[in-house]
Every structure is written in C-alpha cells, then in structure tokens.
Structure 1
C-alpha cells in the first residue's frame, strides 16, 4: 500500500512545494502532503520507538517487583499512572500498525479521497511518534521516585469501652508492660471464650499504633478453629500485602513470609484465638531476639496452647469479680430499671447466674434493658436457673446464658434472621447490606413492595440483633459490616443442629474438598452453607432430596466439575442460589424449574458462558451476572420475569438488551450495567435493541449504573431529568478505560471528554462524588459544578488545561468535604478571590499533587472559612512559594486564623516553599506536621497566645509530632525562643535521602 503511493506522492509533493513558497495556506498544505513522501520511514520509526517503550515498561515492572520482594516497597501513584498510560498507548499504537499493515489498496487509489486518507494516516503516525517519545521521557524514574518508602504500620480495630479499674484493666496493663520488656519475646494471653481477650488485645493494638518509639509494625491476624498452616501463612501474608497464592508449597511460602517480616523491622504479631500450637520456622516467622525487638502475642482458650508455643510469659484473663460484674450489668440494663427495689435484687441474682463472663452479662443485660415488668424479670431468672448445664468446660455453661438472649428475641422471624448469620465462616465480616438482601429474598421481611422499604425493615432487625449483643458492628473500608462472636456462632449452630425448625448444614470456610455425606442431607434441612471451601464438585452420585431447603450458598468454591443436570429437581423450595466466584461452566437445566427461586447469583463465574431458560422463574427478584466475562447474552425468557427487581450485568460481554425488555420489567429497580451496554448517540431506530430512550422511560428504576461513551449521550440523559427519581447512580462518561475503583452511591466519572463553557455538562443535583480524568478544554470547572449542590468529593486528575477549580461567586459547594487534585499542569489557583460565606465551609481533606504551576494553595480570606478542615497534603508543586497568600490591602499580621479541627499537615518536595502563612494559625487538634524536602521553609506559624505558651496549649494533644530532618529543624526561625523550646519535645527526626531531582529530602513515616 505504501509503495504504490510513493512515486505519485513525490510528484504531487514537488508541485505543491513550488506553490507554497509565498502563501501561508499553501505552506500548511505542503505540511500536510509531506506525510505522503515518507510514510514507511515514519512507520518504521514508530515501530522502533515502541520496541524501546515496551522494553522500558518491562524494565520498570521488573524493577518494581524486585523492590517489592526485597524491601516491601509499593510503586508511587505517578509510576502506576505511567504504567497504565503506557499500556493504553501500546494498545492504541498496536491497533494503528495492525490496521495499516492489514489494509487493502482500493481500485480508486488515485482519487482525492485516497490521498486525504493517506494524509490523515500520516498525521496519526506522527502524533503517535510524539506521544511515544514523551512517555519514554517521563519513564526515566530513579529508584527513589518509583516507590513509596513507608508501609502502613497497622490497622486500627473497633473496640468496646473498657472499665478503668478491675480485672480487665489489670490484664491490659500487665500485657503492655510485657510488650515493653526487652527480655519477653512471646506472650500468651489465655482464658475462656467470651472473657474479653480479643477486646483487651484490640485496645493494645490501637495503642501500639499511636506510639512510635518501640515498634515499627503491628500485625493483627484472626485465626480460627479450623485454620491450617497454609491458611495461617496466607492470613499473615495478606496483612503484609504479600500475595502467597502463587507459591504452591509450604517452604517457599515460609521463605517469602520470612523476608516480608524481616523488612518490617520491629514488629508485633498478634495471633487472636489460636487453637493449636505451630512451628515458627514452618510458618516463616523470624526468630525473636532482644536485638531485633520483635514480639509475638497469642490469645487462646487453652493454657496448653501457650505451653506448646513456648511462650515466655502467660497472662490469664479471668472472669469479672461480683462487683465488676454488677457494674457491667447495671451499665447494660440501665439505672432507671434498677431503681425499682423489687427488680434490683432479681437483677443481682441474674448477674451471679452469668458467672462473671462479660459476654454473658452483656447479652443477658441487653435483653432486659428498660424492662420494668417484675414478672418478666422473675420468669427470666427461672429460665436461666432451669437451663441445662452439663459442665465439662465452663464455657459450655455459658451457652445457656447466650441462648437466653436468643429466646428473648421477639419472634421466630428475628430468630431466623439471627441464625442466618451463622451460615458465614467463623470470624467472617458480614456485609450488612448483603445479609439484609438474603433475608429479603428468603421471605423473612414479609411481602416485598419497594426494595428500599424491605431493607429498612431489615435494618431495624439488624439493629435489634446488635442491641441484644448477638452481633457486633465492624466498619470495613467504608462498608457497614457485622460480625458474630465465635462463641455465639457455636451456640447458633448448636441450635440449628438440634432444633428441626431451623435444621441447617453449615460447613463454611473450613477447607472442605468433598461435599457432606448424603446422610447429612436430611429432608427437613432448610439451609445449606458450603461457601468458601475448596470443593471440586457439588455432589457425587444421586442428588439428595431436600424439598424444604430455601437457601443454598455455594459461593467461593472451585467446582472443576459441573452439577448434575437433575440436581435441582429435588430442591423445589429453593429461594436463594448463590454460585458466585465458582468455576462452573454450565448451569444445570433443572434450574429452569425452580419456580420459587427469588435470587440467582452468578457473579464472577469465570467459565460460565450460557444460562438455561428462566421463563418459569416468575418469582425471581435478583439476577446477578456481574463480572462473568464470558457471558455474551441474556438467557431466554427474561421478558417473563415480572417480579425482577435487580439486573446486574456489569463487566460482562452483554452489549445490548432486547428492545422492549425494560418496559416489560415493570418492577425493575436496579439496572447495573457498567462496562457492558454500549448505547450509541441517538440514531433513527434501525435495530431491535434497547436505546437510551427506553432507559429514560423506566419509571421504576431507583438505582442505575451505566457508561455513556459520549458527552452528547450523557447530556441527553441528564436533560431528560430521569436521574431525579434515582436514589443512587454511577455514571462513567467518555471513551476512556480508566478505573476508579469503588465510587460513592451518587457518582460520576468523566473520562477523556471535552468540557467547555460553550458546551457545559449538566451534573445531577444529588451527585455526591465527581471525578474528572484526562478531560480536555477545561480551564475552570464552574460550568460543571454549577448544579452539584450536594457534592461531597471532587477529584481532578490529568486535566492539563485546568487553570482554576472553583469560582465561588457562582458555586455553592458548602457540602464539599474532600478535594483531590493531581497532575494539573496549568493550575494557577484553587479558588478565585471572591469568597462567599457558603463556599467550601465543609471541606475536611484537600490533597494537591504534581501541579507545577500552582503558586499558592489558599487565599487568606478563604482559609478563614475552613473551620472544618482536618487534613492538608501538598506535594510536588515545584512553583509553590507560599501555602497561603493574603490579598493586597489585608493586614496579614493582624489576621489570626483558627483551624480547630486540623490534625494533619503534610508538605513534600516543594523546594521553593518559603512560608505556610505570614501571620499565626491556632491549631486545636493538630497531631502531625510532616515536612519532606521543603528546605526553604524557615517558619512554622504556631500561635502563641500572650503569656500562655504553646506547650500548655498543646497539652490536650500529647500525640503531636513534627517530622523532618534535623538540618531543616535546626534552620527554622522562631518568633520567640520559648516557642522553640516548648516545641522541641514534639520533633521527630527523619533520615536524609535524595529525591528524584537531587535535593535533600527525608522519608516520611506514613505515606497515606
């Protein structure tokens, strides 16, 4: 193709060069036609550059892997972005080259259209050459600029309020003293189940994270009764961010774990609820010595485990004394009830029945809180005393006390909801939303109308179970989770084994490789949980007959073999079938006959390609196919699913829905289709697939997740006003393929689209989170943020043309809590000078990184408004000289700024930064100031209030740390000598290193 055009192109280019000597237009044309002269040469140059780029990418990836294995260092955000952009550009160039080399010469190869296409092709080649050259130059990383230097020290755990005096506090103090004793390396903490061992160690874990003198790393691992050596290794590895799944044998896992722990310096490893002793060497735990300062603490119910672990010192956590037990019981029941004399004595007797066990006292006390009926208390005491206590171990007696709380639940519906929690593995964090949905699908929440109403009822039940202390709340990564104490779970499983009303098979998370024997699949079984095991098949031989089973939870199993075709012929009462995260390749045809099925969950089934007909499943409420990437189309019979509330096809190959389908699914509330459906810019209706107009017409939708591949399509949707009816949404706008992870409930991500004042994008007013990535033509975001009245988080990444973010004269961003700005090359200012009282008043966190033209962060007037600011982080802003600029005419020294909630200030790699603020700032909650490679900064704006020294001002926050190099600290200038003397005790020295531009810097202790 190239050769055929060379001779002709040479002649034409020669003529054009004669015509272009005087006229600018002709010069432009000559510039265009030169692409016809040497297309093959430029193509070869592009190939050569791509080989260099690919080699550089492999070198960087290999270097990152080596630095991770040797030192546990993670890549910096800039390096990850470079790798992502490199991969994207490689794909684009490969596609361009492939299209050129596979192109065919048409018969009309000398037509004007042909030459213009060749010119366009040449332009594309030159453009890609320029892009490849630029990205190669950006990829010249030094070792220091590639990786983060400080891993996270540990994780803060939720914990209950401890009594300030008594047995529990004595145990805590003793354990703390042993941790600080150089001669004690292994500590055993033992006591019966529910006595408070985990609560004490959770408090110690959190205290260790706050202090920085003794240990570099705190590692908490929850063990369990059924844990194997391999699972223990992987559990420790997960806490160290080390993936051990690729190692097949015990020895190599131990070696990798050994290296990872050695890298962490002085560590404390807490192994909670250990049931059997194990060898440190086999696991990969380094030898504990006085020199390395490392410690291991185990909690267990058995003293024999401590002895088997050869602990240096053991601490028994004893039950509460009678007076301590009474104080705890009073706290849970409430003094208002105990003020009644006739109840007070009964309450004391009930406290004695709980045998000083905190877990028993709490559950019984909560069950009777605010109960003022004397007869209710008398009956409760008789029930406790009448409970059968076959004491072989003391904790068995506690079962009856725990079961008392179960029987006190108000009805069987609530009891059934509670027992469902025990279907999860021991110690598992249960997603509260998922749990409530299971209850709803099993029919425990009554007749289902709107899903939101049913979930609200579920939340009330969940709160009752928490209130009764049968479940505990554990927040996890922004998710609402609950957890069962292992003793309470044991009690629940005992009930489900003994009582025919609740009969269940529970074998979750115990490493099973074979399904339970057919004798266990009795006809009265109601629930079966085999989740999170290593099952290769569901059943061998004839399927069991379980007509009453309502829930079959099989998620997270390998399943190399498919289920028998007739398996579900014997489970006709089934309501929930969960096969998510399994390797099934085919769903049995008998699924088509499950007319009572309400939830079919097939998320992340990596081998699944097709489904049988669902036409008979008229009660189905939820169909989840998300991330089952081999599924290319919906199953037959979708139009008959008149009760369907949720359809999740995100991250599948399903690109279109049949036309008219949404209008038949009249109860559909959730349509989740990110990275799936491909809606086009509106065209005349020429096909039989769903178009955006049909989505707009779906009046029952309350949750919507879609990709809009063009801003025109997104504008068409937003102008329809359909989003007003949505409770939550997630929209990705633009042709980009960047991933943002988990977004907020009402979020929009703009990827590579054009945003100009002439073509503003309408933002739904109830948007919580906005992300702009690689968007062009943006100089400031006023046109985008105009309607975002409830916006809480705004992130702007790689939008090079942005000059300012907010014009407060035209925006009400009083709800904005978090602002993140990265790689904004032309950013001049955050906010224009005019500031209204309602602008940015809720801002809590601001992060600004890699904005080389940003001269200052705040105006003085703006900073006066930021009373809720909690964290400021600014890094790699090479032109910044002042963090805060006071506008002309203002008296900078008279303006004392109050930031009562600011607890963290971090400034990194800004060699020109001279000042934070010329006046004074009063910090009420400051915990951390970290200055890294900002050697020109000579003054800290601490406020000295008349005769009250800064030391007295900060007594309420003794955890304050000011981190930096000694060189920087010694160079600081102070308004008064007394201030420096007072602040000296808060200084923490960081070592000198050399950053990627060669200036002195220091390594931070926490690169959050």
Structure 2
C-alpha cells in the first residue's frame, strides 16, 4: 500500500485536475503544491524538471539518476504536496517514486502525493490510502456552472437561455465541456476565434505566441477593419487574458502556456461544427477525408513530409506548414489564402517549394518564412502587410522590402545582414 497517497479517478472531462489543485492549495502545514502532468508515456526528466521548478531547486547534475538524488535530498527535508496528474499506468511501489526522486512522508517530513487517473485498474493496483471517484455534474450543478462561466443573468433573452440549455444538455455533465462550450453563447469575435487559432498549434506554446496571433488577427481582419496594429494588439491581449481567466489557456511554466487536451478537442469540435473548417491532421488522414471546405490547416507536427498533391481547398485562409514538401501548383488554387507560415527544418531541403508560386496568392497579407534563403520573389507580393523572416543570413533583402508599400509589421528575429538596411522601410512601418 502506498502511504501518504491519495488518488482521484474519473472520466477524462469531469474536472479532476481542477479539483486537486483546489485541494492542494487548501491543505495546511505544507508549502505551495507542485503539479506535474504525467500523461500516457511519462518523461522522467521532464517530471524532475517540473518538480525542481516548483521547489526552486537548480540541478547541479545532468543524469536522471543524479538529479533524482538531488530531488530526494531536498524533498525529504521539508513538507511538500506533489500532484501527479493524468496517470495512465500503475506505479506499484516506492521504486517508481525513487526513480524520479520523490520521498514519501516519513517522521513528519517528505511528500504527500495526490494522483489523478481515468482508469479504475490504476486505483485498484496502487492501493492508495484514499481513493475518490469523481462523477459528472447533475443537471442543476451543470446549469449553475455554465451560467457562471457564460455570465448569464436575468437580463439575457429567452432565446439565448434556450440555446444555452441545449448546450448544457449536450455536455452530459462534463465540466471541461461546459466551460469550453460556453463560447457558443458569446458573440462571435475575438475570444471564440482566438481559442480556435490556439488549437492550430501543438498543445504547449510559448507565452510570446501572442505576437504571432496578432499578425494573423491583422491579416484575417479578425476584429474588422481597424486603423492601427496597436488596436489589434490590445484586442488580442485582452482575448488571451480572458481565455486564461476562464482556464481555457493554462500556465505551464514561466515561458509556456498550454491547452488541456480535452479543451483542445472540444475547441476543434466547436470549430468544425460552426463551419470554420479547422483541421489539424496528418497526411494519411488528409488523404482519406474531404477537406475542400477548410479555412484553416495546420501541419506542424507530422511524420510524413510530402503534402498531397491534390490539396486544393479554395476556401483556405490560413495555412501552417513545417518540414513539408509542397508542390507549388497547390497555391494556384488558394485564392482566399491570407496567412501562410512555412518552416524548413534541418533535414528538409530548403527548396521544398518554389517560393515564386506564392506570387499567385492575390489576398496574401501575412507571410512567415523560417530557414529559407531566396527572397527575390518578395517584390511581387504587393498585398503583403505582415512579414516574418526567421534565423537567416542574407543580402539584397532591402531591394525587395522597399517595394512592399503596404507592409505594416516586419519581424527579422535571429537574422543577420551583410548590407545596410534601408531607413525608408522602417519609417513606413512606424507611420
């Protein structure tokens, strides 16, 4: 039996994570609880790093075994609560905790462990001191949660109330679904769209990603035809803050935020239902599905590098590709494309596409290129308003940039120059 250990289990959307956070914060006699997501395939090194960050420990050693000893020595001298969230497989004895460096409470010091899992077999095999099943909400609780998160009051019209009641019923008492689907009763606009654009990326994203979202929001006119980039920046930051306050975006570390897997799944479900056509797929899935109505496609983390030659979604507005071999003819049919991101990896040929094919995009307003070298085509992208070039060293770029008369945002992060940069371009951006 695992002493000093409490385990909560239940369906993947019933709110176990939120509940254990609250429990950890209210337990007296311990420091700030440290929470780590274990997930299906535990990464011991990542778990060690998260715990070390939580107790302000800077590792002196490099191997996992040595770091486990460092953690053990620090943790056994204090009183800590460690929350291991989303455990998929049983940890049968103290050895699994020792591999990480977690000492259980002994003589009043060490760690109290709170575990969460979706699987009853994990509960049964681990024989924790306390096991609690978390059930879904009943009808009254579900409605109260939805009203609170959607800010519904007595002034809301009956039509909205009826629609909201239908949504709550569809969620079947699952808190994560309720909190996420509250966006259905919000007015269409920044908050709802911003969540949709978050899911275009992998689950863990940098805190500075708002700069990228700003550029896409501008290109897609997410907030209508506004006068200045600064106005869009304020709107984007307000939307992100709202999503954080609603626990739809979660702080992961000092530098990263993340989407809970289920929030991301529900957000994609909403996006697809509302005909926004968001798609995050691998190539094999693309080959087996119709994606002509798609408005957004993200292929940032796929194994196969060759994009299907028949990718011709005429309604596509935003396309994010990484390490993909793309046929230039694909772009000839993307007449609605407004935002494009292309990243060539170290093991992907730089000439993965003919960039001259981009000149066939009549509405392209935002372009991001990483690890490319040839920019002689830029002068022909007269509609371009946002340009981001990353990690490059080049010359002759100035000859291309001064022709982009509509350019509003220019990002040259990690770029080096061999020639003088034209001041007239900077003056135009600041005006």
**Same fold, judged at TM 0.5 (above):** yes
- 2:356 aligned with 1:356: no
The partner residue of 2:419 within 656, 660, 676 is 656
The answer on 1:539 being equivalent to 2:349 is no
- Aligned residue for 1:190? 9
1:264/1:287 CA distance change after superposition, 3 Å:
closer
In structure 1, which of residues 259, 262, 268 is the aligned counterpart of residue 72 of structure 2?
262
**Alignment partner, residue 222 of structure 1:** 37
Contact 1:195-1:317 at 8 Å conserved across structures: yes
Residue of 473, 486, 491 corresponding to 2:266: 491
> Where has structure 1 moved over 6 Å in runs of 4 or more?
241-244
* 2:374 counterpart of 1:619: no
Unaligned residue ranges in structure 2 (runs of 5+): none
The alpha-carbon distance between structure 1 residues 643 and 304, as it changes in their structure 2 partners (threshold 3 A), is farther
Which of 276, 280, 286 aligns to 1:506? It is 280
Separation (CA, whole Å) in 1 of partners of 2:125 and 2:200: 32
- The answer (yes or no) to whether the contact 1:642–1:665 under 8 Å persists in 2 is no
Contact 1:189 1:316 in 2 (8 A): yes
Question: Which residue of 353, 358, 379 corresponds with 1:592?
Answer: 358
Question: Hey, what does 1:644 align to over in structure 2?
Answer: 407
Q: Which residue of structure 2 lines up, in the alignment, with residue 298 of structure 1?
A: 115
Name which of 651, 656, 668 aligns with 2:429: 668
Task: Find the residue that maps to 2:224 and give its secondary structure.
Answer: coil
- 1:911-926 correspondence to structure 2 within 5 Å: none
SS at match of 1:304: helix
Going from structure 1 to structure 2, the CA distance change for 1:233 and 1:199 (only over 3 Å counts) comes to same
The correspondence of residues 704-743 of structure 1 with structure 2, limited to 5 A, is: none
Q: How does 1:324-723 map to 2 (within 5 A)?
A: 353=139, 355-357=140-142, 361-373=144-156, 376-377=157-158, 379-381=160-162, 383-385=164-166, 389=170, 395=174, 399=177, 401-402=178-179, 405-411=182-188, 415-426=192-203, 431-462=209-240, 469=246, 471=248, 474=251, 477=254, 484-499=259-274, 501-507=275-281, 516-520=285-289, 522-531=291-300, 533=301, 535=302, 538-540=305-307, 542=309, 544-554=311-321, 559=323, 562-579=325-342, 582-583=345-346, 584-586=348-350, 588-590=353-355, 591-593=357-359, 594-602=361-369, 605=371, 608-626=372-390, 628-634=391-397, 637-657=400-420, 661-663=422-424, 667-669=428-430, 700=431
Alpha-carbon contact 1:277-1:305 (below 8 Å) kept: yes
- What secondary structure is seen at the aligned counterpart in 2 of 1:410? coil
Query: What pairs up with 1:820-839 in 2 under 5 angstroms?
Result: none
Work out which structure has the larger RCO, using CA pairs closer than 8 Å and 6 or more positions apart in sequence.
2
SS at match of 1:502: coil
Give, in angstroms, the shift of residue 380 of structure 1: 0.9
* Cα pair 1:186 1:297 within 8 Å, conserved: yes
Cα shift readout 1:146-182 (whole Å, capped 9, x = no counterpart) = xxxxxxxxxxxxxxxxxxxxxxxxxxxxxxxxxxxx9
Q: List per-residue Cα deviations over 1:238-294 (Å, max 9, x = no partner).
A: 5537999xx9xxxxx764564454344326542223345467867933585555834
Contact 1:189 1:317 in 2 (8 A): yes
Distance 1:437 1:233, change over 3 A: same
Distance 1:279 1:567, change over 3 A: farther
The reply on whether 1:285 has 2:100 as its aligned counterpart is yes
Cα offset, 1:452, TM superposition = 0.4
Can you list the C-alpha shifts for 1:467-516, whole angstroms capped at 9, x where unaligned?
A: 7x373574964x7x8765544432221223444x1112125xxxx7x664
* Deviations 1:525-569 (CA, angstroms, capped at 9, x unpaired): 1112233x3x455425525222222222346xxx3x754454534
Report the Cα distance in structure 1 between the residues aligned to 2:49 and 2:424, rounded to whole angstroms. Answer: 50
8 Å contact from structure 1 (residues 613, 635) kept in 2: no
> 1:394-424 deviations in whole A, cap 9, x for unaligned?
53x974x457622211136654333223323
Q: CA deviation at 1:570?
A: 4.6
Residue 723 of structure 1 corresponds to none
Within 5 Å, give how 1:830-979 maps onto structure 2.
Answer: none
Q: Distance in 1 between matches of 2:399 and 2:333?
A: 23
CA gap 1:562/1:643 in 2 versus in 1, 3 angstroms? same
Q: For 2:52, which of 226, 240, 257 is the aligned residue?
A: 240
Cα gap change, 1:428/1:652 in structure 2, threshold over 3 Å: closer, same or farther?
Answer: closer
Q: Partners of 1:289 and 1:458 in 2: how far apart?
A: 44
After superposition, the C-alpha distances for 1:437-472 in whole angstroms (9 at most, x for unaligned) are: 3322222122243210222333455566567x3735
Compared CA separation, residues 488 and 582, structure 1 to 2 (3 A): same
Change (3 A) 1:656 1:523: same
The answer on whether the counterparts of 2:205 and 2:258 sit within 8 Å (CA) in structure 1 is yes
Unaligned segments of structure 1, at least 5 residues: 1-181, 248-252, 321-351, 670-699, 701-1008
The match for 1:834 is none
Report the secondary structure of 1:624's partner residue: strand
Q: Tell me the distance in 2 between the aligned counterparts of 1:517 and 1:282.
A: 40
- Asked whether the equivalents of residues 550 and 574 of structure 1 are also in contact (C-alpha less than 8 Å), the reply is yes
Distance 2:327 2:66 in 1: 41
Is the 8 Å Cα contact of residues 427 and 485 (structure 1) preserved in structure 2? Answer: no
CA shift digits 1:228-247 (9 cap, x unpaired): 34x46435445537999xx9
| Partner SS state of residue 84, structure 2 | strand
Deviation at 1:372?
1.7
Cα contact 1:577–1:600 (8 A) shared by 2: yes
Structure 1 pair 482/644, CA: closer, same or farther in 2 (3 Å)?
same
| Distance change >3 Å, CA 273–CA 667, structure 1 → 2 | farther
What secondary structure does 1:240 align onto? helix
Contact 1:518 1:544 in 2 (8 A): no
SS for the counterpart of 1:228 is: coil
Return the alpha-carbon distance in structure 2 between the equivalents of residues 386 and 484 of structure 1.
Answer: 21
1:636 deviation in Å?
6.0
- Quote the Cα distance in structure 2 between the aligned partners of 1:282 and 1:617: 57
Matched pairs, number: 414
